[in-house]
Structure 1
Amino acid sequence: MIGGDCQSNLTIANSLPIAQLEEEQRQLKHYFGPKWYYCVETICYPCGTVKAWALFAKSESPTKILKFLHNVFPEPHSRPDFICIDKACPVSRTVTQNPDWKYWLDTSRFIVDTYHYNNHKASDELCQKFCNPAPYDGSQPNLVIVALDAQGQPYFKHAFNTQVCKQLNAWLIILSKQGNDVGNMEASRENEVDEAEESGTDDED
Structure 2
Amino acid sequence: SAFLTLFDCFNRVSTPAAVPQDEMEATTISPSEVRGVVDGEDPCFLAKDSGVKCTSYSLLWYYRVDTGSCDRFWYGGCGGNANRFNSEQDCIRVCIDQRTCIPTTSGEGNDDAGSCYSFVLKWFFNKTQPARCTPFWYGGCEGNRNRFETRELCESICLPLAGQMLLQAHVTWKLWLLICNELNLPPHTPAPGCSQTVCIVFCLLSLGLPSDLLLAHLLPM
Normalising by structure 1, report the TM-score. Answer: 0.24
Normalising by structure 2, report the TM-score. Answer: 0.23
Higher relative contact order (CA 8 A, sep 6+): 1
Bigger Rg, structure 1 or 2: 2
